[in-house]
Amino acid sequence: MSTDARTPVIRLTGVSRSFGGEPPVTALHPTDLSVRQGEYLSVSGPSGSGKSVLLHLLGLLDAPSGGRYELDGIDTGPLTDRDRSTLRGRRIGFVFQSFHLLPHRTAEENVALAQVYRQVPRPRRAEAAREALRLVGLAHRLDALPTTLSGGERQRVAIARALVNRPGLLLCDEPTGNLGSDDSEAVLDRLDELHAQGRTLVVISHDPAVAARAGRRVTIRDGVLSEPTEVAR
Query: Could you tell me what percent of the chain has a pLDDT over 90?
Result: 61
Distance CA 100, CA 197 (A): 26
Assigned domain for 7 exists: no
The domain that holds 217 is classified in CATH as 3.40.50.300
Assigned domain for 27 exists: no
| Residue 233, pLDDT score | 46
Q: Which residues contact 172 (CB under 8 A, 6 or more apart)?
A: 94, 95, 191, 201, 202, 203, 204, 205
- H/E run at residue 121: none
| Residue 24, pLDDT score | 82
Assigned domain for 8 exists: no
Please tell me the total count of domains within the chain: 1
| Residue 230, pLDDT score | 53
- Provide the domain limits for residue 182: 38-64+80-230
| Residue 33, pLDDT score | 95
Distance CA 133, CA 138 (A): 5
Assigned domain for 217 exists: yes
Regions of the chain short of the pLDDT cut 50:
1-2, 229, 231-233
Assigned domain for 100 exists: yes
Assigned domain for 33 exists: no
- Tens of pLDDT, residues 68-126: 999 999 999 999 999 999 899 889 999 988 888 999 999 999 999 888 767 777 778 88
| Residue 42, pLDDT score | 95
Strand, coil or helix: what is 169? strand
CA distances from 84 to 43, 68, 145, 228 (A): 23, 14, 33, 27
DSSP-assigned letter for residue 92:
E
Assigned domain for 113 exists: yes
The pTM score is 0.88
